[in-house]
Amino acid sequence: MFSKLRWFSLRTLFLFLAGTQFSFAQQADDPIKELVARLSLSSYKETLKGLTQFGDREQGTARNRAAIDWIEAKLEEIGCQNIERLDYEFNPEPRPPRAPRNRSAQTPDLTTATGGSVGRNGNGPGGSEIFGYRAMTGVNRDLDAQPDARIRELNRERPVNGSRQEIYCTKVGTTYSDEMYIVSAHMDGIGVNEAVNDDGSGTALVLELARIFNSPDVFTERSIRFALWNNEETGLNGATAYVEQRAKLQGIENPAGSGIYPEPRWLGMIQHDMMLWDHGAPLADGSVSRDQRREADVNIEFQSASEFADESMKLAFAFKAAADDYNTDYPATVGPHMTNTDSTPFMNVVPSISLRENERGAQTGAGWNPTWHTPSDVWTTFTDDDFRLGLNAAQTTLSAIARLTGTKLRD
């Protein structure tokens, strides 16, 4: 009996060690693990910091155009091919006069109440406000509300109607070049700030992924388009212009017989918007923590009311599975409330998801994020814990897209 047990234990130990060695071998040969390791907090922050030199990058201004030029130079520097610009017009009607607003509500102290009702204890109007803190969530356009003189000057110019541009580049697939995933963020912001979270955080993420996927030793079976939309803050106009101009070109070889597809068929659209802030629910007095909450996560949203809801949900869970395997600091969750970002014009055309720090409808829209469109969306507001959440979102998308596009590394 003893000898049989001893033999069984030795055999079990042998199989365990063999399995462990096999697991280590798999990890060593895992190209996705290698690609994720090429992401770094310092590089992500450096790219994001570069965007702050242009202030809020509001559409229709010289600072917006300068930021587009900077993004193009960045794409060229990291080896992107097929860099293109899309032109469109933006000529809205003049805004009606607005009543003066309470400046204190637009420049909230992140640790104190900023006015408005608090519904969690029963003294608020309900709806989304039952979650607590209810600061005004309108857009700040008051220069004097920004305490930093340098940032005030960066954002002094007001937008004018006229021609607009946005920029994208494409990693061409080696096997299925006629199919692609769109990886995107919006580069414009608003609020007399540096637009660090909204949406420098998403723009830097897309640029970092473009850097890694365009490394000389990286090959993808399917194509990837890295798109930086304009005019998101005015109503998703840049992304809408792209859909209107490019959707009908999908999968058309041009010139015929060339094997070149200027607009590969869309397999999925992945938007990144406001990646840094997940500080949790406000307290009953409306105060908001300055610290990233311990339970912070990368939220992956699809829209349950879209025509591609089932396919989008499957895409969202594919991203969550990748996050489970490769994220280093924060987990990912899936929610069905994607809204008010550049994936919306795509959601009834192709499976579409959005990555950001939490569900906008229930949390951001209820005032949980006091940096949203306010003078507080500046570099000094955020800590490395916040930036690391953005980095983990980058890990999520990189690993998921690498799987979906059949990414391989050249030895």
Instruction: Please report which helix (H) or strand (E) contains residue 32, including its range.
Output: helix 31-37
Burial of 269 (0-12, 13-18, 19+ CB in 10 A): buried
pLDDT digits (tens, 9 = 90+) for 347-365: 999 999 999 866 766 788 7
What's the whole-number mean pLDDT along residues 196-221? 98
Nearest to 386 by CA among 301, 295, 291, 288: 291
Nearest to 229 by CA among 243, 215, 247: 243
pLDDT digits (tens, 9 = 90+) for 229-270: 999 999 999 999 999 999 999 999 999 999 999 999 999 999
Q: 374 with 140: CB under 8 angstroms? A: yes
Query: Which tokens hold the place of 273?
Result: 């918007």
d(CA 287, CA 368): 10
Nearest to 291 by CA among 278, 308, 303: 278
Confidence category of residue 101, pLDDT binned at 50, 70, 90: very low
Q: 343 with 75: CB under 8 angstroms? A: no
Asked if residue 255 has a cis previous peptide bond (ω within 30° of 0), the answer is yes
d(CA 145, CA 376): 10
Instruction: Please report which helix (H) or strand (E) contains residue 88, including its range.
Output: strand 84-90
- Can you say how many angstroms the Cα of residue 354 is from the centroid of all Cα atoms in its chain? 7
Share of the chain above pLDDT 90, in %: 73
Nearest to 243 by CA among 294, 295, 168: 168
Q: What is the pLDDT of residue 364?
A: 81
Q: What is the pTM of this model?
A: 0.86
d(CA 106, CA 401): 38
Q: Tell which wins on pLDDT, 70 or 98.
A: 70
d(CA 315, CA 298): 15
Tell me the backbone φ, ψ of residue 218, rounded to 5 degrees.
-105, 130
Q: What is the pLDDT of residue 362?
A: 73
Secondary structure string (H, E, C) spanning 246-300: HHHHCCCCCCCCCCCCCCCEEEEEEEECCCCCCCCCCCCCCCCCCCCCCCCCEEE
Q: What is the pLDDT of residue 135?
A: 52
Residue whose token pair is 């030199």: 53
Task: Using the predicted structure, report yes or no on whether residue 211 has a pLDDT greater than 90.
Answer: yes
| Domains of the chain from N-terminus onward | 43-93+101-409 (3.40.630.10)
Q: What is the pLDDT of residue 98?
A: 58
d(CA 347, CA 338): 9
- Can you say how many angstroms the Cα of residue 78 is from the centroid of all Cα atoms in its chain? 19
